Amino acid sequence: MHFFIPPTAELPGLQAAIDGKTKPLGALGELERLARQIGQVQQTVQPQLGRPCVLVFAGDHGAARAGVSAFPQEVTWQMVENFLAGGAAINVFARHNDLQLLVVDAGVAHDFGVRPNLLDAKIAFGTRNYLEEAAMSADQRDAALARGAAIVRSLAEAGCRVVAFGEMGIGNSASAALLTHLLTGSPLADCVGRGTGLDDAGLARKRELLARALQRARLSSTADAASVLAEFGGLEIAMLSGAMLAAAEQRMLLLIDGFIVTAALLVAARMAPAIVDYCIFSHRSAEPGHLAQLRALRAEPLLDLGLRLGEGTGAALAWPLVRAAAAFLSEMASFAAAGVSERQ
């Protein structure tokens, strides 16, 4: 698949507009950097953040039953039901921040039927077990990328300018660790965390299983991102990557959540490096592998709250800061307009 994503261009007068607001130079700190990014993405000093949406992509992993997670695989579909019932953390944060929430079934091992706020994009009832074989075929990977892209293009046509990305899938922190190791070159041990809450013995087993998966696949250190994704990714991760690429192509703002979502971004950034210009990194996850991801992407997140829940919760919590940055750029008076004397 090909996506055309140019780097964001400098907007003449944008920095002057930020500097000319009724405040000391640089007094709004990181909000000023954020406002500049928003202005450059939208190419305006009057940004519009219309119809923001949280997309939570859900999928199951064949390796989950091998012991890479503290929770059974059935929790994936049970949590999707929780999302649809409005009872999860992301539901609460989305409601209180006026964010539309859509759940995407990318590959859950369960049949949900037709449900409000659920998009059926299922590729398969979960991936295969990457301890024994590649998680996805090339056709499945490409279909997931394409369906993710189609979902976001449809949102863009409806006027959405901002997409926050979340995920759900028991075992997906293990998949994200493998992707991170292979796409950043960081040692596997630095990429593997406790996920949903493994104890020390569980963490040691997870590391051993992932090392075994790497030995089976024997991917070259120069393997392309698409091959890495098919070997170890999840259907929800692949669909996230496609959705991100389409969002940047549509000049939307991308709110990036934590470890698993950033693993999907690593894949997307290998395919189209300029995508990072469109990304707002919401928070620094407590998962150790997130540090390796942020370093590789040269990213500075807005929040550091010790979060490791996923679901898009960090992105939803960062949304008020994004809204504030856009609002001060478009609404705050300049020294000239307010008749306030500037510093001599």
Integer Cα distance of 158 and 257 in angstroms: 23
Q: Which residue has the tokens 């170890």?
A: 232
Which residues make beta-bridge pairs with 166? 56
Q: In 202-312, at which residue ranges do the beta strands (DSSP E only) sit? A: 253-256, 279-281
DSSP 8-state assignment for residue 171:
T
Whether 184 contacts 293, CB under 8 Å: yes
Integer Cα distance of 28 and 52 in angstroms: 24
Q: Show Cβ contacts of residue 1 under 8 Å, excluding neighbours closer than 6 positions.
A: 142, 145, 146, 149, 242, 245, 271
Whether 236 contacts 245, CB under 8 Å: no
Neighbours of 95 (CB within 10 A): 12
Integer Cα distance of 266 and 335 in angstroms: 42
SS3 56: strand
DSSP 8-state assignment for residue 168:
E
Q: Which of 236, 311, 331, 342 is catalytic?
A: 311
Question: How far is the CA of 199 from the CAs of 41, 65, 116, 146, 191, in angstroms?
Answer: 43, 17, 37, 37, 16
Distance between start and end Cα atoms, the chain: 55
Please choose, from the candidates 146, 157, 322, the residue with its C-alpha nearest in 3D space to the C-alpha of residue 240: 146
SS3 103: strand
| 311 among known catalytic residues | yes
Q: Which residue has the tokens 């698949």?
A: 1
Integer Cα distance of 239 and 251 in angstroms: 18
Catalytic residues: 311
